[in-house]
Structure 1
């Protein structure tokens, strides 16, 4: 992206890209990190912004929360897994991130419910979207 990375320019590029692919009217939401410029860009486009769950979780989970997640995993006899964060330079990282969220659904929900400053958990509709997205990304 050339120029300033402000909300106006980001919104303009997103709008042009969505229009070029003829999917502007089909776009229900945009998922990004929690940067205010991305939130503002989505607002300018009148498209719902969904903060990346793994990114939010990564930003807010303290050592105490990580310990709580591991304890819950042990209690449920589940593997001690960590969330996977999407990495722009790894083309398949979004797929792996979403797979991990689904794999750890119960443990994440329980851990989030026990942490005071945790982000809101993923609701049932969002899990359906995640599962559909995994199916779409899987062949790639």
Structure 2
């Protein structure tokens, strides 16, 4: 693919794919940094939360509840009659196993329609088994409260036509703010936040990946050194990469080696110019969201624990 597009090894800085093992294997021989897809990482972290025993049990009860109405025209009819009591008419939503956003939508809609739906079931003794337990409803409320801001954020991210690697550190800090433990959080909420944070930290624990992300964020005029854990070290890395780029201009570009001999080609890397962010501004655009994150960060005068850091960093 790279040869077909006439991309030479000197032009490579990083390659981004999902976390599939075949993708990792395909690109491991190239002398550049492999960077896992942020969207896929976030999806995997949320899936781990949904697989927690208490959460999984509550979500299963919610699915059973939704199916109970989908497969019965009588319950649908009674539900419509209930909605005549000044309750907005909204259909229950089925989730898709591979899309956590659909699971969130299912839970959110269930909580909205819970009063009307339970009134229908209460009139039919044979349907009482469909009612989720109070503990399951409470669990679903906590899951909805946690995933709500993440769902809004991913909607903003998905609407962007152009995203840059330089935005990753500010984005991760925004996620860290959402997942920051609060005194009023109960045990399950703290557990869910910890599972997600630990998983995201693991994705960016590599020293090469952290270095690349630091440089990309530092040279972006929107962020500069405001998100650097160690600004002096980041400046040193940036200067080293700039020197490498200057040296490359004095020699012809090297052809990309065949995959059969890729591992025999050195380990040198280079940094290319990061594409500029989309200029179109929206009230809910990624750039506006990151601006709010930066302003909040400046006012607080302190740095949150960001998952994107090098192993050598001593900061928490």
Is 1:130 the counterpart of 2:131 in the alignment? no
| 1:32-47 matches, cutoff 5 A | none
Q: Is the 2:64–2:130 contact (alpha carbons within 8 Å) kept by the matching residues of 1? A: no
Residue 115 of structure 1 corresponds to: 124
Residue 54 of structure 2 corresponds to: 29
Report the Cα offset of residue 122 of structure 1.
Answer: 2.4
State the alpha-carbon separation in 1 of the partners of residues 118 and 66 from structure 2. Answer: 15
Structure whose alpha-carbon radius of gyration is higher? 2
Is 1:59 the counterpart of 2:84 in the alignment? no
State the alpha-carbon separation in 1 of the partners of residues 99 and 87 from structure 2. Answer: 27
User: Given the two structures, how large is their TM-score scaled by the length of structure 2?
Assistant: 0.28
Segments of structure 2 that go 5 or more residues without pairing to the other structure are 1-47, 151-316
State the alpha-carbon separation in 2 of the partners of residues 80 and 100 from structure 1. Answer: 11
Question: What is the alpha-carbon root mean square deviation over aligned residues?
Answer: 2.5
Q: Is the 1:60–1:117 contact (alpha carbons within 8 Å) kept by the matching residues of 2? A: no
User: Given the two structures, how large is their TM-score scaled by the length of structure 1?
Assistant: 0.58
* 1:42-90 per-position Cα deviation (integer Å, ceiling 9, x unaligned): xxxxxxx55723432343331011000110111x210111211111243
Query: Where do 4+ consecutive residues of structure 1 move more than 6 Å?
Result: none
Is 1:85 the counterpart of 2:122 in the alignment? no
Residue 45 of structure 1 corresponds to: none
Q: Is the 1:85–1:93 contact (alpha carbons within 8 Å) kept by the matching residues of 2? A: yes
Segments of structure 1 that go 5 or more residues without pairing to the other structure are 1-20, 32-48
* 1:31-52 per-position Cα deviation (integer Å, ceiling 9, x unaligned): 3xxxxxxxxxxxxxxxxx5572
Higher normalized contact order (CA 8 Å, seq sep 6+, divided by chain length): 2
Match for residue 103 of structure 2 among 90, 94, 114: 94
Match for residue 70 of structure 1 among 61, 64, 80: 80
Q: Helix, strand or coil for the counterpart of 1:95?
A: helix
Q: Label 1:113 to 1:103 Cα distance change in 2 as closer, same or farther (>3 A).
A: same
State the alpha-carbon separation in 1 of the partners of residues 61 and 86 from structure 2. Answer: 24
Q: Label 1:127 to 1:55 Cα distance change in 2 as closer, same or farther (>3 A).
A: closer
Q: Label 1:138 to 1:84 Cα distance change in 2 as closer, same or farther (>3 A).
A: same
